[in-house]
Chains A and B, each alone.
Chain A
Amino acid sequence: MNRIDAQPTSGASDTDRPLVFDVQGLNVFYGDFHAVRDVELPVRQNEITALIGPSGCGKSTVLRSLNRMNDLIPDARVEGQVAYHGVDLYGPEVDPVQVRRHIGMVFQKPNPFPKSIYDNVAFGPKIAGVRSGLDDVVEDSLKRAALWDEVKGKLSESAYALSGGQQQRLCIARAIATRPDVILMDEPASALDPIATLRIEELMFELKEDYTIVVVTHNMQQAARVSDRTAFFTVEVGEDGTRTGVLVEFGDTSTMFTNPSRKETEDYITGRFG
């Protein structure tokens, strides 16, 4: 282990935390297109794992294979194993709908439903059959997403009336409301201004007390600021010009950013690439 690092991020080197995801030999194809190749990725509980890399490196694809969102893309094919608490997510008995209740998702652009703030948050629990105590679930979720104080007086107003940053926190509240244990975030702050971005980052820090978070970002400072571990992906251009995403390096964020073991990682982090 790296000793130069004087102040490791909380628990960053604590390899004893239980594994939430164990990704082994993951390959994703879109039709004939080989999107990512041979990814090995452990994700540990109550940590923030960041997936970084240049565009087209397949980081979002890997993220989407963690809650089977790739199933929604026609001709997408996933090979390899994604174990979630030891259960193969792509096993024959597994229902992708059920998977997404345990593993919530926040998207790149805030995408609230064109409904009231309340209905946005309540939708997940409602379809999961929650009938009573919905108000409490909504309030609790909005509090956890640090949005409650701003919206408590106007829960029945349209979600579209909120600012971009508020909308994104609403989407986080919506994801929390189904009581997941993992939250996947696909560049959650890329469409927001710097102040709103900061709020989201602070929120992620609070959320990891209760949830495991996997976040895709192309903003390296963000990865360095919030994550415990970082996976660096890049694009490999084959002889025939095909582009495939590969995982270059995975490790503690502090190590990756101070003493990367691979030259590609260093080049990317120092801005010589991408």
Chain B
Amino acid sequence: MTTTTPDLTGDPARHRKERRVKMVMLAAGVLTIVVSIAIVLSLLSEAISFLTQIDLGQLWAKGWFPRRGRFDLRTIIVHTLLVTAVAMVVAVPLGMGAATYLSEYAPRTVRRVLKPLLEVLAGIPSVVLGFFALTWITPNVMRRIWEDTELFNMGAAGIAVGILIVPLIASVAEDAMRAVPDALREASYGLGARRRHTTLRVVLPAAISGITAGFILGASRAVGETMIVAIAAGASGGSLLTFKITEGGQTMTGAMASLAIGSDQIAGVGAAFQSLFFVGLLLFVFTLILNVASERVIRRFRERY
């Protein structure tokens, strides 16, 4: 047993190693900020150069035809909103129904089978859904309802985007409902309420902000989805403004994809190429706003429970 003064200073080599490791980890963390800055800078610089090259009236022209210098923002924004709206009409009831069933009704065995299947659906690449929209949804769904549906149409694309975001909406909503304390359910049953009343009047209202956050996140994904629209919504090259989902139309992402496809020819020259970055910037800002909004809503939900 030592009673002499102990040496508590520690090995300097070990200190150095400890500091080095920490710096490496910190550098990796900071890299994500570099990525964000790189995204914003590359979008901004080309977008600004786009705006300086064109006459601002061109952003309010007749239709979106970049190679002809017509960059009508209304066209691509309205079409994006149309596709997103169709997607939400499909995804909200399906996602909510699935989530409510899984959270409140499903026996454990059923849950164990169906939940992974929902994850499989989430793993289907969007190119595949795009092809499915074009070859299956258009003839079997769209043309059954509206006979004169064009081959390439925003409706089929919207339905496919909706299918894509069902798992997202379902999983966020299910998490929100499962986070509702059981005490609330018991209180409701204790008052003699039926299960459906408990589900509809107690659990859903309590989970509503979490569910809303899921909707916003789903909408954000729908706005940013590219491949489905590029394959099934048609109008590569450009389109006029239309409000009909049975017709083809260029969305923001669709416009970017078709510029990209042709970017071999237009690379580096002319406003058409740079409009790609301008639309990208718009898309970035749109989705950022939606994501931040959903983050806010979900944080308020967490604070409550």
Contact = CB atoms under 8 A, between A and B. Distances in A.
Interface of A: 18, 45-46, 84-87, 89, 93-95, 97-99, 102, 181, 210
Q: What are the 10 closest A-B residue pairs judged by CB atoms, nearest first?
A: A95-B10, A98-B10, A94-B8, A98-B8, A93-B9, A102-B6, A99-B8, A18-B3, A85-B5, A85-B6
Contacts of B5: 85-87
Interface in B1-43: 1-10, 14-15
Contacts of B10: 95, 97-98
A106 B1 CA distance: 20
Q: Interface residues of B toward A: which range?
A: 10 to 19
Contacts of A89: 8
A261 B8 CA distance: 38
Contacts, number: 36
Contacts of B15: 95
A210 B10 CA distance: 24
A94 to B, nearest CB: 5
B3 A95 contact: no
A95 B8 contact: yes
19 contacts: A18-B3, A45-B1, A46-B1, A84-B8, A85-B4, A85-B6, A86-B5, A87-B5, A94-B8, A94-B9, A95-B10, A95-B15, A97-B14, A98-B7, A98-B9, A98-B10, A181-B1, A181-B2, A210-B1
A267 B140 CA distance: 83
A172 B9 CA distance: 25
Interface in B223-248: none
A46 B1 CA distance: 10
A102 B1 contact: no
Contact of A87 (B1, B6, B14): B6
Contacts of B6: 84-85, 87, 102, 181
B225 to A, nearest CB: 40
B93 to A, nearest CB: 45
